[in-house]
Homo-oligomer: A and B are copies of this chain.
Amino acid sequence: MELNDRKIKILKAIVSSYIHEGEAIGSRTISKKYDLGISSATVRNEMSDLEELGFLVQPHTSAGRVPTDKAYRLYVDKIIRNSSMNKYNEQIKKILQGEIDEMEKFIRNSARILSQFTKYTSFVMTPQLKESKLKRIQLVPISENKLLMVIVTENNLVKNVILNMKIPVPEDQMNRISNLLTQKLEGRQLKSLDKDLYNHISKEIYSIRESFDDKFDDVFMLLLNTMKQYEKVDVYYDGLTNILNYPEYSNTEKAKELLSFMEDKKSMASVLMDETGEDLAVSIGNENKYDEIKQCSVVSATYKLNGMIIGKIGLIGPTRMDYKNVISMVKALSLNVNRLIEENYIDIARSDTDEQKRKG
């Protein structure tokens, strides 16, 4: 059996209707509401075929039919190609502008926009920095026994930790250590900061001068500890309660299952990490890895810094999701987010302007 033009038209009508109404749809409704110029009986025959092909299922004998994940997949693939985002682009631009002071807040605001516009639950997987490179380490005195270690990456993301020192560290020694650490570690990926590297660098230093700052070792060890924290990925949601608006989750048990799953950020992170690195990914129902979200679809986009994917932002909702709307929304948002990140967090000073100066 072939999936001819008419079948596709009917399928599209069914999917679209089911997305918006949430109820199984029958042949009569299709033939009446969508004027395809054929009677309900004909639609009935076609629907029977579509069921055989695996695009539709009947919840029970006398109910209408409901699209399967396979149907959604077909629908989405057709949509993605020619989805426009003009509808939202301007609005998003306006809202996002002026909220870019702090990276994390900026991204969270973006998530809020997503959930508010779409009425689904939005998520953000926050920066994953293992891959990024160190630019500078600076120790700042706080009090006699405490000092602050500020770690700046090449992407200008900053992390800081308070170090408790057993013995006070005078300010000039602090600067020496800062400079030495920066000098030795600049350009290295955060994930490469491990014991091996530590041993290597220590050896190097002690081979030059017999005795060096006695605090250096301590500070270095604390730096390694801090780096461990970078490995944790965090997930943040907005519009969690939107889920409860959909009849799919009017049953508390179902809602609980999904919400619990999402609350366990590790699982959710693993869902998002598993995806291919495409800019826009749609994962429908059974395509998802975990049972708990096999009745959901996840639409996610990447955000990048210097061309490197540092996080994801997107939406999760029932498979009966308004893909058309959602996809253009996510597309538009991620485009704007990426543009703003480029404009605000990338270090033009080094790469571009220096070049230009030389040329000019």
Q: A156: which of B135, B142, B251 is its contact (CB, 8 Å)?
A: B142
The A interface is mostly helix, strand or loop, or mixed, namely mixed
A-B contacts, 21 of them at CB < 8 A, read A101-B229, A142-B156, A142-B347, A143-B156, A144-B349, A144-B350, A145-B348, A146-B156, A146-B349, A148-B150, A150-B160, A156-B162, A158-B162, A160-B160, A168-B349, A239-B263, A240-B240, A240-B259, A241-B259, A244-B255, A252-B252
- A residues lining the B interface (CB < 8 Å): 101-102, 135-136, 138, 140-146, 148, 150, 152, 156, 158, 160-162, 164, 168, 225-226, 229, 238-241, 244-245, 249-252, 255-256, 259-260, 263, 344-345, 347-350, 353
Contacts of A249 in B (CB 8 A): 252
- Provide the bound-state CA to CA distance between A192 and B337, in Å: 34
**B241 A102 Cβ-Cβ under 8 A:** no
Given A145-B349, A241-B263, A244-B252; 17 other pairs, CB 8 A cutoff: A102-B161, A136-B140, A142-B156, A143-B349, A143-B350, A146-B156, A148-B150, A148-B158, A150-B160, A162-B345, A238-B263, A241-B259, A241-B260, A244-B256, A244-B259, A250-B252, A252-B252
Residues of B contacting A161 with CB < 8 Å? 101-102
- Are A136 and B144 neighbours in the complex by a CB distance under 8 Å? no
Tell which of A256, A260, A350 has the most Cβ of chain B within 10 Å. Answer: A256
| Nearest B residue to A257, CB-CB | B241
Set of chain B residues within 8 Å of A158, measured between Cβ atoms: 148, 160, 162
Q: How far is the CA of A53 from the CA of B143 in the complex (A)?
A: 60
**B136 touching A141, Cβ below 8 Å:** yes
Closest to A260 in B: B241
Whether A143 contacts B347 by the Cβ 8 Å rule is yes
* Residues A347 and B146 in contact in the complex (CB < 8 Å), given A249-B252, A250-B252, A255-B244: yes
Contacts A140-B136, A140-B138, A162-B158; is A229 near B102 (CB within 8 Å)?
yes
Cα-based distance from A161 to B150 in the complex (angstroms): 12
User: In the bound complex, what is the Cα–Cα distance between A226 and B138 (angstroms)?
Assistant: 21
Q: A102-B229, A240-B259 are in contact. Are A142 and B148 (CB under 8 A)?
A: no
Chain B residue with Cβ nearest A247: B252
Q: How far is the CA of A260 from the CA of B162 in the complex (A)?
A: 36
Residues of B with C-beta under 8 A to A255: 244, 252, 255
Q: Which 6 A-B pairs have the closest CB atoms?
A: A144-B349, A143-B349, A244-B256, A241-B259, A241-B260, A138-B140
Please measure, in the bound complex, the distance between the C-alpha atom of A347 and the C-alpha atom of B164, giving whole angstroms.
Answer: 10
Q: Taking A150-B150, A160-B158, A249-B252 as contacts, is the C-beta distance between A144 and B353 under 8 angstroms?
A: yes
From residue A171, how far is it (CB to closest CB) to chain B in Å?
11
